Structure 1
Amino acid sequence: MEFFLDTANIDEIRAAQRQGLVDGVTTNPTLLSREGGDWRKQAKRICEIVSGPVSLEVVGTTAEDMVREAEDLVGFGPNVVIKIPMIAEGLVAAKTLSEKGIKTNVTLVFSAMQALLAAKAGATYVSPFVGRLDAIGHDGMQLIEQIRTIFDNYEFETKILVASVRDPMHVQDSALIGADVATVPYKVIQQFVKHPLTDTGLAQFLKDWEQFTE
């Protein structure tokens, strides 16, 4: 499974890179706005320091506007992936961009049928939002299972990019199901390494070594 960092913060990206935990980055207008300053400069900088895919999101709601924005955004770097909302006009844009050889990430997916439509439109990635589904009493992992089954049934090349990740179990369960990618906030990805038995075990080893060397 690939790990994408869901952030627009350069410091977080660099810190996760040192740990070998950044295969790519996903951003959105909200994340970029939190960083302040010129969002275009920030986005270009991310594309420069990340070797893997970087998802940059369009804000238009018509296919024409989305395609126009996408053609601008791909100039930020060869690793740009265009995030497109899962709406009817978004499917038109995804198909158009796919035919132009531009990679896309269809986002805000909440059903298996939406994922199927995105794959048929030629999306490179489809982003089901598991955390938001869980928050309203649905089972986000059930959706990942459904999408995985459908994509395998018809040999779609579209990758399942699990989004709206709230905790490490979302990633673990997605990996067990066979999702291709999980995009994870920095604070959550840092929880992956933590386990209380690791901490207590290390403390005991160090204590024993200190007594041995006295």
Structure 2
Amino acid sequence: MATTSSTLEQLRSVTTVVADTGDFDSMKEFRPTDATTNPSLILAAAKLPKYSQLIDRAVDYGRQHGNNLETTMDYLFVLFGTEILKIVPGRVSIEVDARLSFDRDGSVKKVRQLIQLYEMAGIARDRVLIKLATTWEGVKAAEQLEKEGIHCNLTLLFNFAQAVACAESGVTLISPYVGRIYDWYATKTGQKVYPNPADDPGVQSVTRIYNYYKKHGYKTVVMGASFRSISQIKALAGCDLLTISPALLSELANETGGVPLKQVLSPESAAQQTDCPRVHYDEKRFRWELNEDQMATDKLSEGIRKFAADAIVLENLIKAKLQ
């Protein structure tokens, strides 16, 4: 029997929907619980005239602090996050500079600075998720920050070893990248269509991680990210959270009258899994398993480089205004 509610509304009943965007208008339209950003999204938003006021405020703040570029950038990211939290009822995820991906102590220091700025703006730390790349150093930085009551979202996550290390370190949330895994395999194998979405390698990766977490009682939650199609999203219905681009949110909102959405993932189904024994990853095993996974190694390094490159472009834009 067909349903009259949209696929997006049905998805909301089993999964927390997060907007993967830096655009405030999209958040207002789709009413996500949370929102997530990264340097690429902030860069795209910063180029739009409607966000010039935020840029100007950040530049003024930087000038008041000795024209310090780093201070200006920190304040810009906090301004975007603060504005997002006026729209969404939940949390905002904000990214740490990708150039700190292999610097545990530098990451911890930077995050403390960002949280201080948020708290100065009247935003409690429990409404902010700090995004760190899932390197060994990123995981260990998150482990320390979680002990300080600062919640972390480990991103650029592509394989099981990364996910296990995050859970063992008490990370609040992980963002496994469905679409980028799909992209890698599509390039390597030429297969771009999966008649059964459950066979999509990105979907399979998140399904395995979700089932492992739930079966073994980890508190870390899973937020599937980086989708290329709504079929990937529907194949992960029931996942703790899914962060979705405005284009795919619109497609889900406009899909009505079809077969009711099936909840695919649940703690109950995860408990029935028999092929996921508990494992442990120390630093040596983590680095080896990551090295042996060409896809994860390629996509992690590519993601860090891309976020770093966009951060530099954004810095140059702000630097020109400071001068």
* TM bucket normalised to smaller: 0.7 to 0.9
What is the total number of aligned residue pairs between the two structures? 192
Shift of 1:129: 0.3
- Once structures 1 and 2 are overlaid, which stretch shifts more, 44-53 or 186-195? 44-53
Tell me the distance in 2 between the aligned counterparts of 1:48 and 1:65: 30
Tell me the distance in 2 between the aligned counterparts of 1:80 and 1:197: 37
Note if 1:8 corresponds to 2:38: no
Shift of 1:193: 2.4
Tell me the distance in 2 between the aligned counterparts of 1:185 and 1:85: 20
Shift of 1:196: 7.8
1:24, 1:51 within 8 Å by CA — same for their partners in 2? yes
Shift of 1:44: 2.1
Task: Write the mapping of 1:89-108 to structure 2, written as runs, cut at 5 A.
Answer: 89-108=137-156
In the alignment, structure 1 segments of 5+ residues that lack a partner are 199-214
Among 199, 202, 226, the alignment partner of 1:164 is: 226
TM-score normalized with structure 1 length: 0.84
- Structure 1 counterpart of 2:140, one-letter code: V
Distance 1:71 1:48, change over 3 A: farther
Cα deviation digits, residues 7-35 of structure 1 (max 9, x gap): 11111111112xxxx01000001111111
Task: Write the mapping of 1:11-30 to structure 2, written as runs, cut at 5 A.
Answer: 11-17=25-31, 22-30=32-40
- Once structures 1 and 2 are overlaid, which stretch shifts more, 165-174 or 25-34? 165-174
What's 1:123 paired with? Answer: 171
Secondary structure in 2 matching 1:14: helix
1:127, 1:162 within 8 Å by CA — same for their partners in 2? yes
Cα deviation digits, residues 166-207 of structure 1 (max 9, x gap): 2211211111xx411000011110101224868xxxxxxxxx
Tell me the distance in 2 between the aligned counterparts of 1:16 and 1:50: 10
What's 1:210 paired with? Answer: none
Secondary structure in 2 matching 1:71: helix
Shift of 1:93: 0.5
Tell me the distance in 2 between the aligned counterparts of 1:145 and 1:103: 23
Shift of 1:58: 0.4
Cα deviation digits, residues 75-127 of structure 1 (max 9, x gap): 42221100010001101111001111111100011111110111111111111
Tell me the distance in 1 between the aligned counterparts of 2:254 and 2:145: 41
TM-score normalized with structure 2 length: 0.57
Among 49, 62, 72, the alignment partner of 2:87 is: 49
Tell me the distance in 1 between the aligned counterparts of 2:22 and 2:241: 18
In the alignment, structure 2 segments of 5+ residues that lack a partner are 1-14, 47-54, 59-75, 186-199, 259-323
Task: Write the mapping of 1:31-110 to structure 2, written as runs, cut at 5 A.
Answer: 31-36=41-46, 37=55, 38=58, 39-40=76-77, 41-59=79-97, 60-61=100-101, 62-74=103-115, 75-76=117-118, 77-78=123-124, 79-110=127-158
What's 1:185 paired with? Answer: 245
- Structure 1 counterpart of 2:26, one-letter code: E
What's 1:203 paired with? Answer: none
What's 1:209 paired with? Answer: none
Tell me the distance in 1 between the aligned counterparts of 2:183 and 2:39: 22
Give the alignment's Cα RMSD to 1 decimal.
1.7
